[in-house]
Structure 1
Amino acid sequence: MKLKALLASAVFAFAAATGVAVAQDYPSKPVNYIIPFNAGGESDIAARLQQPVWEKITGKPLVIQYMAGAGGAQAWSQLNGLEADGYTIMGTNLPHIILQPMAQNVGYKTDDISNVYFFQYTPDAIIVPKNSQFKTLKDLIDYAKANPGIVTVSGSGTNSANDVAQTRFDKLAGVTTTYIPFSGTSPSTAAVLGGQVMAGFSYTTAAITQGDAMRVLAVAADKRVPSFPDVPTFKELGYDMVGGAYRGVAVPKSTPEEVKKQLSDVLDKINHDPDFIKKMEDGGFVVINVPYDQVPDFMAKRKAEYEAAAKDMGIAKK
């Protein structure tokens, strides 16, 4: 019995040293969830919807914090310097973490970010004011073909999902529009409503809040979004365009593998909670399930897509 006790003690000490013990009862204390943007945006809204379900499943608090700056790069450049025990997690966004390091030195490389789960995306949507001359996507395309460069299109920043969407749209539709970047989704949408631009690439989440003031011409999703059942997808209209801002959760790279898997499992349970799914869909989000073991393939596919778009956008690969 004494020998068994000594062996058990040795195994426990080894497990604690390697991080396995942490994983066995993960989480056993509050987890800090860092959002790399300001409060109120899509990343924050999604995290706030995750929070109560996390606490219901784990019985532990999920504490949401903010580290905004440089389009998320300020936080992502510091991620690997944070404690790697699974109790500090961070939101990540695509295409940001792929395009930012390609465009310039932002303090991190794409491969520095250890994503453990991707849980949703907000489909790109092309929007116009309700009184716009463009009643359909065909109206906009026909006008853009007849007037190259005249159609101005707002979006939430340079090298963002909206920037990628405008570039892909122009190529697929055979038109030339002029992209006007703004500092975020809100000012970009305001520019459409105020007539500063003729159209905008935004997200379904932002379009919902505008009600009857705005018309959505098409959404970049595989199928129609429940919150916009009457709006066709680009694919329905003949343009193979699916995408938007994908959001996931990452941890410092040196976090033990077992902890990464445990965190992925918790996030997967949240993503299958019926009430969570309904609230996300009502808000214009599309729920996707990409657990830890599927992240490498998911990232490889996204990288190939964004690197192709980057060439058209004039971004030199670093």
Structure 2
Amino acid sequence: MKLTTVFSTAIAAAISASAALADGFPERPINLIAPFNAGGGTDLLLRGLAPHFAEAIGANAFVSNMAGGSGTVAASALQGQRPDGYQLAYMSITVSTIQPQIKDVPYGLDSWTPICSVAASPTLLFVSNDSPFQTAEDVVAAVKAEPGKYVYGSSGPGAMTHLTTVAAFAGLGILDDLKHLPFQGSGPAIKELTAGNIQFFGDTEVLMQRGDFRPLMVFNSQRLENYPDVPTATEVGIEAPLNELYLWGGLFAPAGLEPEVTAKLEAACETAVASEGFQTFAENSGTVINYRGAEEFDAFYRAQYESNGALIEAAGL
């Protein structure tokens, strides 16, 4: 038998095996990883999506939490997994495009097979509802009067919650007069905000609505429908590139996933996002749906990875 024939036979067998694997997918439950603690915005959104994704894919799908390192613990663990479609993570802009540019982590631009994007929500700077601060002007006056007294929290250094507060206070010219207290996830942070141990936090509308909080500004191109009296960051004097921040996220698998499996996961994601149940969840929670299929999401993700270098520099990270 000629060597070329042997190679051709081997390639054909490999293609046939891959096709058979894709045809049978999924044969067991799919793990959807939330890279933060339970109770945060990412966790809540993923749990809202999971049952509809499971129905669409025709198999069980369960959510697991793997917190730490502002999302990098979960991402680092996922990038070393076999690319078989059974381990996915819902990763945000920060985990996928910012953390690998500011930390020494084992993943980067080419570590993933993007499956679909789901949401893109603007962030807000907010305080507890019993806070004395009613406006950004109130904050500036108080901080300048007592430098070092006030504390802003985040779900971890470099997380979008951190970038939101940095953008707000750097844009207002008072960043160096505040203290930063990072937490492992938004859930623990907002408990401390409620308790009064931190005075400021930044996150999406979906998380802010879970507590008794008052928004001071929104990092969006226009005011939000649910909060028409809350000014945009631009309106309070914050300039680009710090005036607009969106917490987008989507499902990622490890690099090397078979195209046929990617297509099945993409189709299930599209069906789940469009489902009546998830649309209702999005409406009730203030989630801004922004679906992209695998190819479009891959291009978007790569462009974001490159452009977010400017945001990192502006935030001093």
TM range (shorter): 0.7 to 0.9
Contact 1:145 1:174 in 2 (8 A): no
Contact 1:168 1:309 in 2 (8 A): no
Shift of residue 216, structure 1, vs aligned partner: 1.0
Contact 2:19 2:260 in 1 (8 A): yes
- Say if 1:227 and 1:30 are closer, same or farther in 2 by CA, change over 3 A: farther
* Aligned residue number for residue 92 of structure 1: 91
State whether structure 2 residue 156 is matched by structure 1 residue 157: yes
State whether structure 2 residue 9 is matched by structure 1 residue 47: no
TM-score by length of 2: 0.80
| Correspondent of 1:263 among 241, 244, 265 | 265
- Say if 1:36 and 1:171 are closer, same or farther in 2 by CA, change over 3 A: closer
Give the letter for the 2:305 counterpart: K
Contact 1:30 1:63 in 2 (8 A): yes
* Aligned residue number for residue 278 of structure 1: 280
Alignment of 1:46-195 (within 5 A): 46-141=45-140, 152-176=151-175, 177-183=177-183, 184-195=185-196
User: Which secondary structure state, in structure 1, belongs to the residue aligned with residue 104 of structure 2?
Assistant: coil
Deviations 1:33-60 (A, max 9, x none): 2333333332222222112212332332
Shift of residue 135, structure 1, vs aligned partner: 1.6
Once residues 244 and 215 of structure 1 are traced to their aligned partners in structure 2, the CA distance between those partners, rounded to angstroms, is 19
Deviations 1:242-300 (A, max 9, x none): 32433211112111123223312221222222331221232232221122111233224
Give the letter for the 1:261 counterpart: A
Give the letter for the 2:193 counterpart: V
Once residues 314 and 238 of structure 1 are traced to their aligned partners in structure 2, the CA distance between those partners, rounded to angstroms, is 19
Once residues 117 and 34 of structure 1 are traced to their aligned partners in structure 2, the CA distance between those partners, rounded to angstroms, is 15
Once residues 141 and 54 of structure 1 are traced to their aligned partners in structure 2, the CA distance between those partners, rounded to angstroms, is 45
Shift of residue 163, structure 1, vs aligned partner: 1.7
- Say if 1:273 and 1:308 are closer, same or farther in 2 by CA, change over 3 A: same
Shift of residue 235, structure 1, vs aligned partner: 4.6
User: Which secondary structure state, in structure 2, belongs to the residue aligned with residue 135 of structure 1?
Assistant: coil
TM-score by length of 1: 0.80
Give the letter for the 1:218 counterpart: M
Shift of residue 148, structure 1, vs aligned partner: 6.5
State whether structure 2 residue 232 is matched by structure 1 residue 233: yes
Shift of residue 122, structure 1, vs aligned partner: 4.4
Shift of residue 157, structure 1, vs aligned partner: 1.7
Q: What RMSD, in angstroms, separates the aligned Cα atoms of the two structures?
A: 3.1
Shift of residue 119, structure 1, vs aligned partner: 0.9
Once residues 198 and 149 of structure 2 are traced to their aligned partners in structure 1, the CA distance between those partners, rounded to angstroms, is 10
Q: Which moved more, 1:145-154 or 1:187-196?
A: 145-154
- Say if 1:22 and 1:307 are closer, same or farther in 2 by CA, change over 3 A: same
* Aligned residue number for residue 200 of structure 2: 199
Deviations 1:156-215 (A, max 9, x none): 22111122122323444444352413213233323333333443223322321213xx21
Contact 1:116 1:248 in 2 (8 A): yes
Once residues 69 and 171 of structure 1 are traced to their aligned partners in structure 2, the CA distance between those partners, rounded to angstroms, is 26
User: Which secondary structure state, in structure 1, belongs to the residue aligned with residue 278 of structure 2?
Assistant: helix
Contact 1:112 1:253 in 2 (8 A): yes
Query: What is the number of residues matched between the two proteins?
Result: 303
State whether structure 2 residue 247 is matched by structure 1 residue 245: yes
Deviations 1:75-127 (A, max 9, x none): 22232332322222222222123332233322322431332222124432111
